Amino acid sequence: MLAKVKSVAVVGLECEEVEVETDFGGGRGGLFVIVGLPDKAVEESKERIRLALRSSGLNIPRPKINVNLAPADLQKAGPSYDLPIAVALLVSMDEVSQESVTGSLFVGELAFDGALRHTNGVLSTTIFAKQKGYKKLFVPRVNAKEAVLIDGVEVYAIDSISQLAAHLKGKQTIAPFIKSDDDEFTEEIESQADMAHIKGQEHAKRAIEIAAAGGHNLLMSGPPGSGKTLLARTIPSILPTMAMDEILEVTKIYSVANLLPKEQGLIKLRPFRAPHHTSSSASLVGGGNIPRPGEISLSHRGVLFLDEFPEFPRTVLENLRQPLEDGIITIGRAKTTLTFPARFILVASQNPCPCGYSSDPDRECTCSPSQIIKYAQKISGPILDRIDIHIEVPRVEFEKLTGDQLAEPSKSIRDRVQKARDIQVERFASEPIITNSEMSSEQIKKHCPIDSPTSELLRSAVIQLHLSARAYHRILKLGRTIADLEGVTQIQSAHVAEALQYRPKIGE
């Protein structure tokens, strides 16, 4: 008989409904035909389904098997259609009734022995199920934690196709999966590299604290071995916690990218991604045949660390312009375009010149002036212009490096950052942004009032330093974050004076 079972296609971060239809007959026995733009992985599901059903004691009959995946013009990719096709076949075989599967969604990959394997995009699938009013969602057990994050849809964790068949027949019913509260969260933060072990570099640590608090982009420049990479790697230890809606946004991206750690439903810690400069443009920005999120989307709501910034190909860096401005990345496909979220803090590091020592007072730089200029030009003005904080990271003096004293631990820095972030969340409660760095010029006007001495200080800075309008706004945004770290509502001269220190040395 004709059977109809519902599943989904994950397109970007969203889902589209796919109807799986199966029937027997109309051709030579033993044939198994799938139509509806299946890719290779879907084609191969025939073998997985045949063997999975056989090893579960459910032999497919001999007549020709027809499978249609509708709508016909939507590309079906990946192995997640194994389960809905197998279930539809069970209906066609009269093993289970059509009523038992109507109103439910099925996703999952089958192993030869009939067990269910991890599948990607389950969080997006559950959100879709809720929006479309599906009552039940059947997923592999390893995906259940992820699926159950959204209330309002009954999630069934399936171990094997035979277990599911018994459930659908009403022989041995499976209870809906229940959400469990597990919290290893604080431990995870505590295990990050701690700032207490970094000697000196108070100036750099302060800049990192401001960047983390207000979501500002940061560029560190300094000679080799001065600790730039070390400093960047401690950033996760001071990042503020994510709100639940941020956690869901990030988890959705990791789920679609198939990077959600097994047995873990949520990404609770802010991401910290450090792609190498030899990474391809597609892995950084996202893309591919079936577009997948790239590193910039995997850093969403967290940090994208680009070490040795000038070594990244210029074309790759130019791709950062849109996400740095809008917090999203648009990826072109044959017929349409897709967008992925990409709101991250960019942390970049560089040497001041090819040999690395032009900013070091004690070591001779061996580069020619033209080499230095060429090196500086590797990063375009528009990219530099999107970085709020520019700092020098000098070598640490010997006395500081060899001292036993520990510096301030990350925990207490994180507490300050969290307080400043809480202030921002409250400030922007009715606006579509979360951090000071995202403020538009109107929002700056509204949220960054300054008194007359501060205004006077800014006026003379703009005139003497020939600051652009963008630089002026950048200073106010930074001033706002510095004031938030101090817990004061009015931006004062001291805050603006500190913000002025973080201007780029060139390019303004």
Ligand X SMILES: Nc1ncnc2c1ncn2[C@@H]1O[C@H](COP(=O)(O)OP(=O)(O)OP(=O)(O)O)[C@@H](O)[C@H]1O
| Minimum distance from residue 213 beta carbon to ligand X (Å) | 22
| Minimum distance from residue 221 beta carbon to ligand X (Å) | 9
Q: How many residues comprise the chain?
A: 508
Q: Which residues make Cβ contacts (< 8 Å) with residue 344, sequence separation at least 6?
A: 271, 273, 296, 299, 300, 301, 302, 303, 304, 323
Please identify, among the stretches 11-19, 227-235, 244-252, 469-477, the one whose residues bind Mg ion according to the rule CB under 5 A.
227-235
Contacted entry of Mg ion, ligand X, none for residue 222, CB cut-off 5 to 8 Å set by kind: ligand X
Q: Which residues make Cβ contacts (< 8 Å) with residue 217, sequence separation at least 6?
A: 211, 324, 345, 346, 347, 348, 386, 387, 388, 389, 437
Q: Which residues make Cβ contacts (< 8 Å) with residue 259, sequence separation at least 6?
A: 298
Assess 473 for contact with ligand X (CB under 6 A): no
Contacted entry of Mg ion, ligand X, none for residue 329, CB cut-off 5 to 8 Å set by kind: none
Assess 310 for contact with ligand X (CB under 6 A): no
d(CA 320, CA 346): 10
How do 218-221 and 345-350 pair as beta strands? parallel
d(CA 110, CA 348): 43
Closest Cα partner for 83 from 144, 21, 160, 147? 160
Assess 226 for contact with ligand X (CB under 6 A): yes
d(CA 221, CA 352): 6
Assess 225 for contact with ligand X (CB under 6 A): yes
Considering beta carbons, is residue 251 or 349 the nearer one to Mg ion? Answer: 349
Query: Contact at 8 Å (CB) between 7 and 81?
Result: yes
Assess 229 for contact with Mg ion (CB under 5 A): yes
What is the three-class DSSP state of 370?
Answer: helix
Considering beta carbons, is residue 228 or 414 the nearer one to ligand X? Answer: 228
Closest Cα partner for 7 from 103, 91, 117, 84? 84
Q: Which residue minimizes CB distance to ligand X? A: 227
- Using CB under 5 A, which residues numbered 436 to 495 contact Mg ion? none
Considering beta carbons, is residue 156 or 309 the nearer one to Mg ion? Answer: 309
Considering beta carbons, is residue 229 or 493 the nearer one to Mg ion? Answer: 229
- Using CB under 6 A, which residues numbered 328 to 357 contact ligand X? 351
d(CA 168, CA 159): 14
d(CA 139, CA 159): 9
| Minimum distance from residue 195 beta carbon to Mg ion (Å) | 17
| Minimum distance from residue 351 beta carbon to Mg ion (Å) | 9
| Minimum distance from residue 274 beta carbon to ligand X (Å) | 12
Considering beta carbons, is residue 220 or 476 the nearer one to Mg ion? Answer: 220
Query: Contact at 8 Å (CB) between 448 and 477?
Result: yes
* 405: its two tokens: 């004293």
d(CA 247, CA 227): 31
Give helix 469-486 / helix 493-501 axis angle, nearest 10°: 120
Cα separation of the two ends of the chain: 73
Considering beta carbons, is residue 10 or 238 the nearer one to ligand X? Answer: 238
Q: x/- contact string, 140-179, with ligand X (CB under 6 A)?
A: ----------------------------------------
d(CA 435, CA 240): 12
Q: x/- contact string, 350-389, with ligand X (CB under 6 A)?
A: -x--------------------------------------
| Minimum distance from residue 293 beta carbon to ligand X (Å) | 27
Contacted entry of Mg ion, ligand X, none for residue 240, CB cut-off 5 to 8 Å set by kind: none
Query: Contact at 8 Å (CB) between 177 and 156?
Result: yes
Per CB under 6 A, the list member of 198, 211, 260, 345 interacting with ligand X is 198
| Minimum distance from residue 140 beta carbon to Mg ion (Å) | 41
Per CB under 6 A, the list member of 84, 215, 227, 504 interacting with ligand X is 227
| Minimum distance from residue 425 beta carbon to ligand X (Å) | 32
| Minimum distance from residue 269 beta carbon to Mg ion (Å) | 23
Please identify, among the stretches 193-201, 238-246, 444-452, 453-461, the one whose residues bind ligand X according to the rule CB under 6 A.
193-201
Considering beta carbons, is residue 106 or 357 the nearer one to ligand X? Answer: 357
CB atoms within 10 A of CB 8: 26
Per CB under 6 A, the list member of 36, 121, 140, 200 interacting with ligand X is 200
What is the three-class DSSP state of 376?
Answer: helix
Considering beta carbons, is residue 125 or 237 the nearer one to ligand X? Answer: 237
| Minimum distance from residue 233 beta carbon to ligand X (Å) | 8
Is the backbone of residue 95 left (phi > 0), alpha (psi -120 to 50) or beta? alpha
User: Which residues bind to ligand X, rule: CB under 6 A?
Assistant: 198-201, 222, 224-230, 351, 396, 401
Residues interacting with Mg ion, by CB under 5 A? 229
